[in-house]
Amino acid sequence: MKVEVAYALPQKQKLITVDVAEGATAREAIELSGILPLFPEIDLASSKIGVFSRVVTLDHPLREGDRVEIYRPLLIDPKEVRRRKAEEKRALTGKPQ
């Protein structure tokens, strides 16, 4: 069955289609894709992965057409980004939020 393995950096993205056996796991698809040597910074022991934006484990069984996504760690907490934007807006308008 065909599945896709995806990984993205801000300046470089890769989407690889791979044939895997029925009942293959996300780990097997990642390893068969050959994506790990292309992005040596990927550490499967600590990276989160997902199928169509839903976080799964490496032993998650795949179905035909699934897209396995390898996620990078967040550089900054989204809550912190929202807090900073709110502070900037308050500074520009002079009004409390």
Mean pLDDT of 62-86: 85
Q: How many domains would you assign to the chain?
A: 1
Position 14 confidence tier, pLDDT thresholds 50, 70, 90: very high
Q: Is pLDDT larger for residue 56 or for residue 95?
A: 56
| Nearest Cα to Cα of residue 72 among 27, 2, 12 | 12
Domain interval for residue 83? 2-93
Q: What is the CATH number of the domain that holds 85?
A: 3.10.20.30
1 residue type, one letter:
M
Q: Taking 90 as the threshold, does the pLDDT of residue 76 lie above it?
A: no
pLDDT of residue 95: 63
Mean pLDDT of 15-24: 97
37-58 pLDDT, tens digit each: 999 999 999 999 999 999 999 9
Percent of all residues in the chain with a pLDDT value above 90, rounded to a whole number: 68
